[in-house]
Structures are given as structure tokens and as C-alpha cells.
Structure 1
């Protein structure tokens, strides 16, 4: 019971912290980390010891899964080169450079365990990237690249961490053993992910009950993890592959009711888990600080060196990776060079999160034959990287994006594309209507024709640049007033005992769905 109350209290802190962030106009991850930092030094409130398995198996899979579900596979495929350069190349580069720097400062430590620390601090966090990038309205392509990077880089980091720890704590690994380890982790993750996509795609296709569909969706990431872990495959890769496949095929796998319910369900899960994650990061501070067993000067020096290295290596990698590939004429024709402010923002958006801390907690307690090894120091460095990148880079990213004057996505272009496709969709709907209208009352056919015409006209009206109220806006405003009046009549009838509660619930559900459509049109 005590553990359950702790969970409820943590969720309450996460919700209140998110509400405070919205009131202050700040990014919620930053506020939640600071709240967790403050609470960690208040005795008797929350004393939470974070086990790495809780994050890597309990929290990360559903967050990665929902991010993958919402990722556009065509956009992901189009940007696969920059995504892989960041998610694989940059992680390996950062891990090696950080490892060399720490080894030079602490020469008594083997290079392999220093590289393990580099692998811990190398990957920007999926949760932080998604929460910050979407909140500040970065251009769509930058968001796709950052989200794609954060979906894959955890797998690169964890595989590299596994290899580095094995090299530090066991017999030396040769190139063949390292290759086999990478193949099993990455290749096995892809295979398990594809099998998960096929299995849950098969089940979603045949289930029509929205509740069962949502239950399957909740089970999917944990089932994939449970299949990947025993064979040494990367559970991160497996979850991402399953999520990308199901998200791409979702329109043909699930009913409309299931998709609507699943969208609301995962929004709530993401909101609660993201808040919980950042509060947990902050709450670990007291335990991390009390565990330090090195002189302050050494701790400060190594920490500062790692922070500077993590920050600089991203820029050292991002600019050449952006422009050198475009020296190839074919690449340059297909993807012209972006302005310098694009890689500048990508370089600044390197926020780390709870995965870094969980990976640090998974480091070995001791390294055979290395008495100078200090796991507590490594955990502190990981925590310092998280706090610095979240609080400093995350808090200043909106200002940096504004200062660099990134061109925003043109809503007029989106509206024009939507209107054109809506016109094609309307034409297809009218053709299907004429084919299916035999025997239907003429009044019904006319009403359906009018509905198609109104939807097409509404899409074109959004292209207007004047301030006058469009017919669709007038319809939405007046219809909202009518819906409010209808709700009041049903509520009074229920209160007077003239209708049963079930009747009220059905009427409200229909009116709520219609209102949600009106609000969607307004947005």
C-alpha cells in the first residue's frame, strides 16, 4: 500500500508540475526536473530509488511505442540519412570522444569503462526531444529528424554500453565477437519488431471492440520487450519497428471508434509517463550527491570536461554531417543544402533524459582489477549531463530558435494541399454515392451530396486571407450554441426523471463527438 501511495503522489506531483509549467509559459520537462530536485532535499516526502529496469522495461517501451505510432514512415524514410548519421554515427563518436577525455583525466581507469560512460551520456532522450521540439513549434522536418534520432539512438547507446561493459569486466573482445553482439542486438531487434508488427497487426485487423483494441495496443510494447530481452535482442529497436509498422498501417487495421479511443488513451498515458519520468530524474539528486566518494576538485573537473565534450561533439559532428554528404551531386540534387541555422538548432537540441540516468545505474558496481573505478562518480556525471542539457539547453532552445529565425512551416501550403486532396476525396465520395444510391430516398441522396460539397468548400475557405467570418466559421459558432442548448434540455430531463441516465449518456456522446469535430475545424 505504501508503494501505491508513492506512485499516486508522484503522479500528482507530475500533474501539478505540468499545470504550473503551463501557467508560467515554460517547458514542462524543465519545471518537472526542478520540482523533483527541490523535493529530493525535503526529508520525509518522497524517497524513491530508481531501478534501471523500471525505466528500460516499464516506462521507456510505451513512450517509444507511442512516439513511433505517431511518426510518419514516409517522412522517416525521406530523412533516413540524417537520422542514422545522428542516431548511430553521432552516438558512437560522442561515446568514443567522451571515453578518451575521461581516460586522459583519470588514466588509472581503462578506456573501455570510460567509453561505457560515453555511451551512457551520448544519446539525447526520446521523451525530452519530443516534448521540447513539438512545444516550441520547430519546422516539421527538424522535428522529424530529432524524433527519428531519439527513437533509434537509445538502441545504439545500449548496445555500445553492453559491449564496453563486457570488455571492461571480462576477457577482451575481438572484432568478431563485437560484430556478433551488434548483429544479435540490432538484427534481432528488427526481427522481433517485424514479428510483433505482424502479430498485433493481425489481431487489430480482426478485433472490432474499441476496448479490446486499446488493450492490445497497451500490451504490444511490453510483449515485444518480453520477446526481445531473453535472446539479447535490442528491445528498443523491436518496439520502434513494431510501432512504426502499426502506426503506418493503422488506418486499415483499426475501426474509427478504436482509433479515436486509442488516440485519447495514449495522450493520457504519454502525459502521465512523461511527467513521471522528469520528476524521477529530479528526485535522484540527493542519492546521487550522497554517493560521491571523490574529492570535489576531481568531481568538478571531470564533470565540466564531460559537459563541454558532450556539447561540442554534437556541433563538431552535425555541421560536417549536414554538408559533406551534399558534396555528392546526386545527393545535392535530391536534397539541397539547408541554411546554417538548421544544423545550429539540431546541435543545440541535445537534451538528455531518464534513459541516460537508467543506463548509468546499470553500470557495474566494480571493475575487476581497477580499484580506482567509482560508479558513483559516473552516475553523478550522467546526472549532471541530464540536468545541464535539460535546464540550460532545453530552457534556451526556444530563444535560440527565435534568434536564428528558423522559417516555420507555411500553414497556407498545408491548407492548399489539404484542399486539393479534399477535392479529390469529395469527387471519389460523389462517385461512390451515385453508385450506391439506387433505391435510396432522394432527400437522403441530396443531403449526402450537400455534405460532400460543404466539406470541400470548407477546406477551400481556410485559404482565405481576410478577417471576415467564413460560412464554415459561422456554422461552427451557431451550431455550438445549438449544441449547448440541446445538452441543457437533456440534462434537465434527466434531473426531472423524464429520461434514464443511459439516454443522457447516449445523447451527450453524440453531441460531444459533433462538438469535437467543430473544434477540430476551428483549429
Structure 2
């Protein structure tokens, strides 16, 4: 038995490595190709059946992948786009569930409104893993990426609540009141935030006393599991707890994590998230035999029509909500409240509507549904819910994911210049403050005036070369140890200026991580004795 599990795991790793490498050559986001590869492999004779265990998804894959996505989420952009994120994460989930409940008899023969509510709860929330894995790889404007990622993270909490209510309605026949639903949502999110922030605070405090790469990396891997399990134990949202903890730790990491540890941890987490993401997306494709095996009494053409029609309906529902809610909010602000409001950008709204990808969480939620109802009766819609969820996942991942780069080119959407401007501004401020620090030390240490003069000249050349930064090697070292100390002090001034700019909201978290990584590499070269490039 153990040998079989090991063989399956190694087989999945081989699939991930081979098809991810092929995706790189084809310039296609690797999650999309892995799903397609899983679908094709599922047809091969003799292919081992690899089932999707919901507990494996929720307890093993979900916490680290959510934590990684939350770590890279921009707090500044989350604040700026909070209204849009909330309307997508809460409003759109409710709109999808209600929309399916009202059209169940027409759209899905054999479904009553209770089964339709459960189906809506399963598929309403977009997938954080899919959004983080694909949105950043297809050249989307940063603002849209931030909205899609934040939506997919937050709406996991609302999707979980909708699923709980859907199951309660189905199993007990009682419909929770709006007050009860709102109270439960507030508790899930509020308690999840408290748990996540508390764990983040304690771990960040402990991390200040540790400066050992392997230990800190192990802690960073354990933290998301602890946040998820403790949140679940407290009957709060474990998903929200992981997200809150990840965002807090990311915010505090420049203060407690040394450059060397940060570089090591980044490499480990890049590899970990790649492997977990890869396995998840291959598993989605490999579920086709199980999904089809659940369906009885319907031809393949009828099933195909159901799958296409349902996927199209959900995509249209999202488009209607994105455009309708945005323009209604704009009209209210402009004509009712008489306040200044930025006119909505139809191109950006279309991409936000088109980018609502579903992933493994929807399929895991569908597979976790009960087989029987109270009294021992079979739950006849379970197999169709699993099938329709699978169709929507494939449609949104493959169709929408592959078409996004083409849409971006056709719609001429890009805000890279905005990011570049922020990055250049941050570089200028960092260099200027480092120059002030070096000049101050030069005046205090007259015996080392030549060394400080050389460093000042190199920093000044970099500043004069803006915006195109050029690295130049420093030659003629007089006292390497003293010089290294001066360089490290100047780098620390740059780092403090960078953090201050982030805290003031003048630069995005992504700009901070980019420039912080450059500073970390430079400091690493100083510690290892390499020739310093400034």
C-alpha cells in the first residue's frame, strides 16, 4: 500500500516537471497546461486512478498555498480597492447563489431550489490558487491582479458560509434568517482575523530572536497549518486566519528577517508552491473518470450541453454583476451623493469579469457533499453537482486562462509604467538617503575620507544614471573590513528608506519586494567576500 502511494506521488511529480517545462517552452501558464495534461492522461489505458480526497485538499494543500498568496498580496492595493473586493467577495457570491436558486427549474432540470443553492455555494467562490498562479503570469495590469487575488482569498470565507447554509437547508429543511447569516459571516471573518493576527504577532515576536535559515523556514511552513487548524478549532474561518496571518507576517518580515534568511526562504517557498500548485492542477484533470463515473442515464451529448450551458450561465452572471454593480455605484456617487467619482473603465471591468477562475477548492467542496439525505434517501443531485463544478473549472481555467493574454493585447491593458515609476522613485530616494549617510560619516571619519569618497562617487553615478540603473564594480579597496561596514550601513539606510516609503503608501508591496531582493543580494555578496557591485 505504501509503495503504491509513493509510486503515485512520484508519478505526479514527474507529470508536474515534464508539463511545466513544456508550458515554459510554449509560453503558456503552466497551471492551464497541467489541467489539460491531466485530462489527456486520464484517457490513457492502464493509467492509475488517483482520487481527490477533500481532506487532502483542505488540510494539506490549502494552508500553504493560501499563505503564499496572502504573502504577496499588496496591503496598499487591498485598502484602495476594498469596496470592489468586498462587492465581489460578498455581493457576487450571494448574487450567484440567489441567481441559481431562482433559475434552478429552468436551467437545471431535476434541481429544486435547495439543491441549486448548494450548487451555487460550491461554485460561487473563485479560487485563490488559480488566481495567484495564472493572473500574474498572463501580463494582467497590477490593479486587476490585486483585485482578482484579493477577491479569491476573501470569498473563500463567504463561500464556506454559503456552503454551510446550503447544507443546513438541505439536511434540516430550515432556511436561516438574514440576521443569522450576517451574524455568522461576521463571526467567521472577525474570529478568523483575530486568530490569524494573534498567531502572526506571536511568531513575528519569536522570529526576532532567531536568525537561522533552516529554523525560520521550518517555522514559516508550520505557521499556515497552525493558523488554519486553530481557526477551525475556534469555529472561525481557517481560511481567513491563514490569509490574515500571511499578510501580517509579510508586512513585518522586513523587520525581523535577515537578508540571508529571506533569500533562502524565498527559494524554498518558490519550490514548495510550485510543486503543490502543480500537483493540484494535475489532480483536477485526472478526476474526469471519477466525475463521468458518477453520472448515470444521460448521453455524452446531453452532458456536454449541460456543462457548456451551466458554465456559460455562471460566466454571464459574473459579467452582469461586475458591470451592473460598478455602474450603479458610480451613478449613486455621481448623481445622488453629488461626489466626485472616477468613471468606470469598461475594458478593465471586462477582464475582471472574465478572470473569475475556479479551481480545486470547488471540486473538493463538491466531492465532500453527502451521499444520503436524512432518512437514508440518496442525494440524487450530488453527481450532477460534481460534474457541473468540474465543467466550470475546466472552462474557466482553460478557456478564460488561455484567452486572457490575447484579451490584454486586444484591449491594450497595461499599467507597467505605473509600477516602473514607483520603482524609479524608490530607487532615487534610497540612493539619496544613502548618499547623505555616507557624506555624514565621511565628515566624521577624516582618516577614511578616500574610501567614503569612492563609495559616494559610485552612489552618485548610479543616481545620475537614473532611470536606467547601471552597476559598476568598486576598485582600489583600502581597508576591506571597514569598507564593508560602511557599505552595509549604507544598505541599511536604503532598506529603512524603502520600508518607510511602503509604510507611507508611496510604493506598492511588490516594488518593496523587488528592491528588497536586490539589497539582499548585494548584502549577501558583501558577507561572502565577493567583489561588491553598487
2:208 counterpart SS class: helix
Select the residue among 132, 143, 146 that pairs with 2:145. Answer: 143
Q: 2:430 aligns with which of 400, 412, 422?
A: 422
The counterpart of 1:388, out of the listed 389, 392, 395, is 395
User: Could you say which residue in structure 1 is the equivalent of 2:46?
Assistant: 44
1:210 has 2:213 as partner: yes
The Cα shift of 1:207 comes to 1.3
Query: Any idea what the Cα deviations from partners look like across 1:177-210, whole Å, max 9, x if unmatched?
Result: 4344323322221111111211211122221112
The residue that corresponds to 1:320 in the other structure is 324
Tell me by how many angstroms 1:422 deviates: 2.8
C-alpha displacement of 1:119: 1.3
Residue 293 (structure 1) shift: 2.0
1:297-336 paired onto structure 2 within 5 Å: 299-327=303-331, 328-329=333-334, 336=342
Write the distance in 1 (CA, Å) between the matches of 2:241 and 2:448: 52
Deviations for 1:441-468, whole angstroms, at most 9, x for unmatched residues?
3444334434433443454434xxxxxx
Deviation, structure 1 residue 161: 0.5
TM-score (norm. length: structure 2):
0.82
Question: Which residue is 2:352 aligned to?
Answer: 346
Residue number among 237, 262, 267 corresponding to 1:264 in the alignment: 267
Measure how far apart 1:347 and its partner are.
1.0
Structure 2: runs of 5+ lacking an equivalent: 476-523
**What value does the CA root-mean-square deviation take over the aligned residues?**
2.8
> Residue in 2 aligned with 1:90?
92
> Does 1:356 find its partner at 2:362?
yes
Q: Structure 1 stretches of 5 or more lacking a match?
A: 463-471, 479-508
Quote the residue 1:453 is aligned against: 460
TM-fit CA distance, 1:269: 1.2
Cα–Cα, structure 1 residues 514 and 57, in superposed 2: closer, same or farther, change >3 Å?
farther
Q: CA contact under 8 A between 2:207 and 2:257: conserved in structure 1? A: yes
Distance in 1 separating the partners of 2:349 and 2:392: 21
Secondary structure of the equivalent of 2:357? Answer: coil
Deviation at 1:304, TM superposition (A): 3.5
Match of residue 406 from structure 1: 413
**Cα distance change, pair 326–205 in 1 and its aligned pair in 2 (3 A):** farther
Q: Is 1:253 the counterpart of 2:256 in the alignment?
A: yes
Which is worse superposed, 292-301 or 149-158? 292-301
- Aligned partners of 1:64 and 1:304: how far apart in 2? 29
Query: With structure 1 as the length reference, what TM-score do the two structures score?
Result: 0.84
1:379 aligns with 2:401: no
Q: Distance in 2 between matches of 1:44 and 1:515?
A: 54
How many residue pairs get aligned? The number is 477
Return 395-404 or 426-435, whichever deviates more.
426-435
Quote the Cα distance in structure 1 between the aligned partners of 2:166 and 2:62: 22
Deviations 1:218-270 (A, max 9, x none): 11100111101123211111100001111111111211112111111111112
User: Whole-Å Cα distance in 1 between the matches of residues 532 and 23 of structure 2?
Assistant: 28
Of 254, 258, 278, 1:275 maps to 278
